[in-house]
């Protein structure tokens, strides 16, 4: 059973179904792999081994009783801002370290119903605010391809664990690229579903009009399986949509013949790494060879996306994080009156990047600046959404880089947050428009760091992502390459 950690979710389910292994075997393999790699990676914040094994035993008993739930016995890691009953949910912050969740997020509840074993809290940038995982109060996670480099963020721990095969699959969240960018940096598959496709109930809010739960996985098929289980309307989330969930597995099997794929040059920003550009261009040509027609589409307002995003997102963060005041959740620092209590608690509990974004968000919402910044950013958001609508009138999906660079060295951008923000140029437009996006491995740089191809679909168009992504994945071998960390084969 020494090779169990190498399996995709699809392969593991096949073994569990055939009786070739048990869920306990799978969890034990995961624990052993974590012990072999996490001293270098710091991908996990915590893993309750006894609880994971107990859940696995229950799953094995269910299977012995004839249960055939789709994820029965499959271990799933969870980013540390998604609530799992009885587990900590610190959001990577000192302020919430004392907090244990009393309930399951809807996405987690659906995974639990499908038989998944919820095990492990994955490292992340505090409250999802960061692109490198260097803003975690627990310390950074590291990239398994080169531990001197960042794994991306904010779902950096999830991406690093999947790439290093110390997790079969992980939940992440994506507010401006926090699933897709670390997936690109670590060489795994990252899915950001459409806004409203998965309930946000139980996801600790950063920016409520942008946040979405998704997955980091070893294959497109695994991403489709996870979405199939988690998607659907939830009465506890007024933004979730009551729409039929398509058969994603069936959509994957269709080839690319006759598809029109847009390829906007607007995503090839000044300063893009030539190795990244070459890898993405080669991937686009490969899609052409697979039968797709590649067409140019114009997206003139993409260049304003980062500026609009960092106004909208910080404004919503300023409001959402006001609840962490030392009275109801987590840590508490005493003060002479309620104002001092909140001030002292927040000053001690929040990290520098969270404070920076709260201050910026409060400023753009303040009297005299609301129209100049927040209202104008929302107008730009509408223009970006219109760019996508016009593009999708001409094509079925859009191809682009995930990020302008591959993973960069630890500390390279910490002193200049603006440079880190600019790295989000290819991902934030998708969130601003409420669309779905998928990152799939498409090559390596000259320094042997992974590069991701971003596939963007229309709202509720995830089946198109899986169709394009799976067909490209199966025609290439980038997704089969593994980092050498922990004695990997």
First to last CA, the chain: 14
- Are the C-beta atoms of residues 95 and 324 closer than 8 Å to each other? yes
Distance CA 437, CA 230 (A): 16
Distance CA 137, CA 126 (A): 7
Whether residue 134 is contained in a domain is answered as yes
Instruction: List average pLDDT for each run of 10 residues in the chain, which is 489 residues long.
Output: 90 98 98 98 98 98 96 98 98 96 98 98 98 98 98 98 98 98 98 98 98 98 98 97 97 97 95 97 98 97 97 97 88 85 90 96 93 95 98 98 98 92 96 98 98 98 98 98 80
- Are the C-beta atoms of residues 151 and 130 closer than 8 Å to each other? no
For the question of residue 136 being annotated catalytic, the response is no
pTM higher than 0.85: yes
Q: What is the tens place of the pLDDT at every residue in 150-174?
A: 999 999 999 999 999 999 999 999 9
Q: Which of 23, 154, 184, 199 is catalytic?
A: 154
Whether residue 14 is contained in a domain is answered as yes
Whether residue 220 is contained in a domain is answered as yes
CATH number at residue 240: 3.90.1300.10
Strands laid side by side in the 450-457 sheet: 44-46, 117-122, 75-79, 170-173, 213-217, 189-192, 436-444, 450-457, 397-401, 260-262, 293-295
For the question of residue 303 being annotated catalytic, the response is no
Q: What is the tens place of the pLDDT at every residue in 328-353?
A: 888 888 887 888 888 899 998 899 99
Q: Which of 178, 184, 215, 439 is catalytic?
A: 178
Distance CA 473, CA 281 (A): 15
Distance CA 477, CA 487 (A): 21
Name residue, tokens 């106004």.
311
Whether residue 295 is contained in a domain is answered as no
Whether residue 213 is contained in a domain is answered as yes
Closest C-alpha to 77, from 39, 40, 38, 19: 38
For the question of residue 90 being annotated catalytic, the response is no
Q: Give the torsion sign (CA, 106, 112, 115, 117).
A: positive
* pLDDT of amino acid 488: 53
Whether residue 288 is contained in a domain is answered as no
Name residue, tokens 């520098």.
352
Distance CA 105, CA 83 (A): 5
Whether residue 472 is contained in a domain is answered as yes
Q: Which of 34, 79, 218, 413 is catalytic?
A: 79
Residue 407 is encoded by which pair of tokens?
Answer: 């993973």
Instruction: Count the domains in the chain.
Output: 1
Whether residue 359 is contained in a domain is answered as no
Q: Residue 441: beta bridge partners?
A: 452
Determine the structural domain holding residue 481 and report its residue range.
Answer: 4-262+461-487
Within 10 A of 100 (CB to CB), how many other CB atoms are there?
13
Contact partners, residue 392, CB within 8 Å, separation at least 6: 262, 398, 458
* pLDDT of amino acid 331: 84
Q: Residue 217: beta bridge partners?
A: 189
For the chain, the three-class secondary structure string (H helix, E strand, C coil) is: CCCHHHCCHHHHHHHHHHCCCCHHHHHHHHHHHHHHHHHHHCCEEECCHHHHHHHHHHHHHHHHCCCCCCCCCCEEEEECCECCCCCECCCCCHHHCCCECCCCCHHHHHHHHCCCEEEEEECCCHHHCCCCCCCCCCCCCCECCECCECCCCCCHHHHHHHHHCCCCCEEEECCCCCCHHHHHHHCCEEEECCCCCCCCCCECCCCCCCCCEEEEECCHHHHHHHHHHHCCCCCCCCCCCCCCCCCHHHHHCCCCCCCEEECCHHHCCCCCCHHHHHHHHHHHHHHHHCCCEEECCCCCCHHHHHHHHHHHHHHHHHHHHHHCCCCCCCCCCCCCCHHHHHHHHHHHHCCHHHHHHHHHHHHHHCCCCHHHHHHHHHHHHHHHHHHHHHHHCCCCEEEEECCCCCCCECCCCCCCHHHHHHCCCCCHHHHHHCCEEEEEEEEECCCCCEEEEEEEECCCCHHHHHHHHHHHHHCCCHHHCCCCHHHCC
């Amino acid at each position: 059973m020494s090779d169990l950690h190498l399996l995709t979710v699809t392969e593991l389910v096949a073994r569990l179904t055939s009786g070739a292994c048990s869920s306990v075997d799978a969890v034990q393999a995961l624990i052993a792999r974590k012990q072999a790699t996490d001293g270098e990676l710091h991908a996990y914040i915590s893993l309750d081994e006894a609880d994971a094994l107990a859940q696995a035993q229950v799953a094995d008993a269910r299977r012995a009783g004839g249960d055939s739930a789709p994820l029965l016995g499959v271990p799933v890691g969870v980013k540390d801002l998604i609530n799992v009953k009885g587990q900590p949910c610190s959001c990577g912050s000192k302020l919430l370290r004392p907090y244990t969740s009393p309930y399951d997020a809807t996405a987690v509840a659906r995974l639990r119903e499908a038989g998944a074993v919820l095990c492990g809290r994955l490292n992340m940038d505090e409250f999802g605010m960061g692109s490198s995982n260097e803003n975690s109060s627990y310390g950074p996670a590291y990239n398994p391809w080169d531990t001197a480099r960042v794994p991306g963020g904010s779902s950096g721990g999830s991406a690093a664990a999947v790439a290093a095969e110390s997790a079969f699959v992980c939940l992440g969240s994506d507010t401006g690229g926090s699933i897709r960018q670390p997936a690109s940096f670590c060489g795994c598959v990252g899915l950001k579903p459409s806004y409203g496709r998965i309930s946000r109930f139980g996801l600790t809010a950063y920016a409520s009009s942008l946040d979405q739960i998704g997955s980091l996985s070893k294959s497109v098929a695994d991403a489709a399986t996870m979405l199939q289980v988690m998607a659907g309307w939830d009465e506890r989330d007024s933004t979730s949509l009551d729409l039929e969930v398509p058969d994603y597995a069936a959509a994957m099997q269709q080839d690319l013949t006759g598809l029109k794929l847009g390829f906007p040059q607007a995503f090839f920003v000044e300063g893009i790494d030539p190795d990244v550009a070459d890898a993405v261009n080669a991937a686009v040509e490969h899609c052409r060879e697979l039968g797709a027609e590649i067409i140019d589409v114009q997206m003139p307002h993409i260049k304003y996306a980062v500026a609009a995003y960092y106004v909208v997102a910080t404004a919503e963060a300023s409001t959402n994080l006001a609840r962490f005041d030392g009275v109801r959740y987590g840590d508490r620092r005493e003060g002479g009156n309620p104002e001092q209590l909140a001030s002292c608690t927040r000053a001690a509990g929040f990290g520098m990047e969270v404070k920076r974004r709260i201050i910026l968000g409060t400023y753009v919402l303040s009297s005299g600046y609301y129209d100049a910044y927040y209202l104008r950013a929302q107008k730009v958001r509408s223009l970006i959404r219109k760019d996508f609508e016009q593009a999708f009138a001409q094509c079925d999906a859009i191809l682009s880089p995930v990020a302008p660079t591959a993973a960069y060295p630890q500390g390279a951008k910490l002193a200049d947050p603006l440079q880190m923000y600019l790295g989000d140029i290819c991902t934030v437009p998708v969130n601003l428009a409420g669309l779905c996006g998928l990152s799939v491995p498409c090559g390596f740089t000259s320094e042997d760091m992974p590069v991701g191809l971003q596939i963007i679909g229309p709202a509720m168009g995830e089946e198109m992502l899986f169709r394009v992504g799976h067909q490209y994945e199966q025609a290439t071998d980038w997704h089969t390459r593994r980092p050498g960390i922990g004695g990997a084969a």
